[in-house]
């Protein structure tokens, strides 16, 4: 079964191996998550499990979500996420999922919302080259021409220009687990994870 969990990004640091080499790592606090729904082919057309994370007050949720959780006697949960699985035989509604099934050395896939940069220019957003910086040039950081002349007489959709940068869902694959602390639900992975400190992240095993 493909293991999926929701958690929070704690931050980045570095650890040293036996040879004294610094390894950049990200600390993640994952779960515990509760199985809120089990989907099967007969009722939903596919196999998946829905999990919830971080219990909150009921008045912070919509009536639709409250009714969905109360139907299964699940406490109010702020975040819900669905994972496709090959089999749902050993999964039951209300089951607690934590990091016990992860092992040091496993590769995982982490998804999160990247840090928003606001409205940025084309150089920062798309890594375009700047104009000449010599005296008399008036095209230092301007985008220049954005389309053809009379024909077609318009700018094509998808033209790379200045605009909002960041704040998108980003997935990083093949992050190796360096260490696990089951007492505090802490997972340490090698490399960087998208998002700022405190962001909600979703992980999935290979």
pLDDT digits (tens, 9 = 90+) for 120-176: 999 999 999 999 999 999 889 988 888 888 888 888 999 999 999 999 999 999 999
Using 50, 70 and 90 to split pLDDT, how confident is the model at 4?
Answer: confident
Domain count along the chain:
1
Query: For position 146, what pLDDT does the model report?
Result: 87
List the one residue out of 6, 102, 90 whose CA is nearest residue 50: 6
Query: Residue 99 belongs to what domain range?
Result: 4-133+158-205
Chain segment 45-69, per-residue pLDDT in tens:
999 999 999 999 999 999 999 999 9
Who contacts 100 (Cβ-Cβ below 8 Å, separation ≥6)?
Answer: 182
Tell me the pTM: 0.82
Chain segment 74-88, per-residue pLDDT in tens:
999 999 999 988 888
The CATH number assigned to the domain holding 46 equals 2.40.30.10
| Residue 145 located in a structural domain | no
Chain segment 85-114, per-residue pLDDT in tens:
888 888 899 999 989 888 999 999 999 999
- E-state strands within the chain: 4-16, 22-30, 33-39, 48-55, 77-84, 96-97, 107-113, 118-120, 163-165, 169-181, 186-190, 200-205
pLDDT of 1 over the 80 cut:
no
């Amino acid at each position: 079964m493909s293991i999926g969990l929701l958690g929070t990004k704690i931050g980045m640091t570095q650890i040293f191996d036996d040879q004294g080499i610094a390894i950049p790592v990200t600390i993640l606090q994952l779960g515990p998550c509760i199985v809120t729904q089990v989907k099967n082919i007969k009722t939903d057309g596919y196999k998946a499990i829905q999990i919830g994370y971080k219990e909150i007050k009921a008045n912070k949720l919509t009536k639709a979500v409250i009714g969905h959780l109360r139907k299964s006697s699940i406490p109010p949960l702020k975040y819900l996420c669905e994972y496709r699985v090959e089999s749902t035989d050993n999964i039951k509604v209300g089951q607690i999922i934590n990091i016990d099934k992860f092992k040091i050395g496993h590769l995982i896939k982490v998804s999160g919302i990247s840090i928003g940069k606001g409205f940025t220019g084309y150089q920062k957003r798309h890594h375009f080259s700047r104009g000449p910086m010599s005296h008399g040039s008036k095209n230092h950081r301007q985008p220049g021409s954005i389309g053809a002349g009379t024909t077609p007489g318009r700018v094509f959709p998808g033209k790379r220009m200045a605009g909002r940068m960041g704040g998108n869902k980003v997935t990083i694959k093949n992050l190796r687990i360096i260490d696990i602390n089951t007492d505090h639900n802490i997972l340490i992975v090698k490399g960087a994870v998208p998002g700022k400190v405190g962001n909600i992240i979703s992980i999935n095993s290979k």
